[in-house]
Amino acid sequence: MTYAFQVGQTVRVKGGDPPGHIRTPAYLRGKLGLVESLQGEFRNPEELAYGKDGRPLRPLYLVRFRQTDIWSGYQGPATDTLSADIYEHWLDAEE
């Protein structure tokens, strides 16, 4: 499988609040992050939650976000970050 994104690439988590089991945290939707690593390919947990087989396999990325980009009025150091596993179908390239 080919990966749509590479380590070091800026990505945006897709927005919205679709119904059903969603593994992507709501507080990260619409936020910019940086791909830290490629975690591999796994069955889609959003499909597995409904008894489906979760295929095709989906690429999973570790994405780093600046806390100041996530939380309005963040009081901690500007260098504070949060990293989260995000599946490829939840990411868009940011140009």
- The whole-angstrom separation of Cα 3 and Cα 92 is 12
How does pLDDT run across 26-40, given as a tens digit for each residue? 999 999 999 999 999
Q: State what percent of residues in the chain have pLDDT above 90.
A: 76
Residue 29 belongs to what H/E stretch? none
Q: Domain spanning 10-93 has what CATH number?
A: 2.30.30.50
- Mean pLDDT to the nearest integer, 6-32: 89
Mean of pLDDT values over 49-54:
89
- Listed by start position, the domains of the chain span 10-93
pLDDT above 70 covers what percent of the chain?
96
For residue 20, pLDDT over 90 is answered with no
Is the distance from CB of 57 to CB of 1 less than 8 angstroms?
Answer: yes
**CA within 13 Å, CB half, 37:** 5
Instruction: Tell me whether the omega of the peptide bond preceding residue 45 falls within 30 degrees of 0, making it cis.
Output: no
